Structure 1
Amino acid sequence: MPRNRQDVDRDVKIAEIRRAAVGILRDGGPAALSHSAVAKRLGLARTAIYWYFPTKDDLFVAALADVYAEDLGTPPEDNRLMTRLRWAVERLTALQPLTHAMHERAKHSQAAADLEAGFQEAMTSRLRTLLAPHVEPGRLDLVTAAIVVFVEGLLVQPRSAQEREDLLHFLVTELTREPADPA
């Protein structure tokens, strides 16, 4: 066992803490994530976690960034518009409690605000790229924005997977002016 933190590679320790934080976030949500919970899971002193992540928001943002990367990083190989959109909406639906927590923390935390802005930018860029072959160039930004707003609203309303699918299918058909891919 290392005698002090100089004996431990910083990147290795950060990765270990982040993995533990992701596990806690997935198991218990944002309320369960704390420096103490991570320290307990890893068998470390709580102050050791503060050394790498000075605030709870720093810890939360790092863990949530990893969750987003894991859950949204690899879309299906099927490049059909509806397949990809359906996949994204279902993933985002599952992540909604964490996304909501990020949004609330972004009001008071620059780290959370930066993650939220980066997440929005990345998702909008991916959507724009996905829509480009299906939408006239002059309408692309407007259609992209409309779908983002629609999906954000869809995520906060309690709807079944089938209802989300039906509404998304309708929206895509209307905005792209071409038939959406079948399920």
Structure 2
Amino acid sequence: MAGKAGGLKGVALIGGGGGNSTVAGALHFFQDPSTGYTEVRGRVTGLAPGLHGFHIHSFGDTTNGCNSTGPHFNPHNKSHGAPSDDERHVGDLGNIVANKDGVADIFIKDLQISLSGPHSILGRAVVVHADSDDLGRVFQSFLRFGSSTLSVTSSKVIIIRQVSLDFDLQFNNLYSIVMKLEVVVVCCSEIWKSLALFVPDFLKNGS
């Protein structure tokens, strides 16, 4: 994402990631200094119809597609959420919707992304994901994961066995370190990052 001199403006050109060369688009960012809101306007084409996660990622390095852009931009160490949530990554911009022709017209107003200051998004990456964003709802109140390594062949996680963890904790603050579960997160249909989750010993044999 590059900035434009003389004002709080930015532009991001979207290209295909994960071997997908059909996705293209241009996004324009404008921050209103009187309100603090940043507007995102633009169009992305070449998408599959439906919802697609839309985020600012930490690094502007696209040399290896989405794999080199890092995680969602999260300078305040918050949990993943929806754009309207108080508890969210700065880079959490929710989903965009592609029509039957694979075209997504985008208009977003957001108070957390900024084009200036210590947490500016200028120089970072804008990522359109192959699949929809769950907006952090999967990990709220009840966490359901298998008690063995999860198998991932696409961006949809296959749960081998399920246990219900009756915790209401932040996703990143699980502390009962007994049994390790590996979860592979997929970005742009490629393996992006591994996360470690833990469950208490008494739930090892749950179903």
TM range (shorter): under 0.3
| Greater per-residue strand proportion | 2
Larger CA Rg, structure 1 vs 2: 1
Q: Normalising by structure 1, what TM-score?
A: 0.26
| Greater per-residue helix proportion | 1
Q: Normalising by structure 2, what TM-score?
A: 0.24
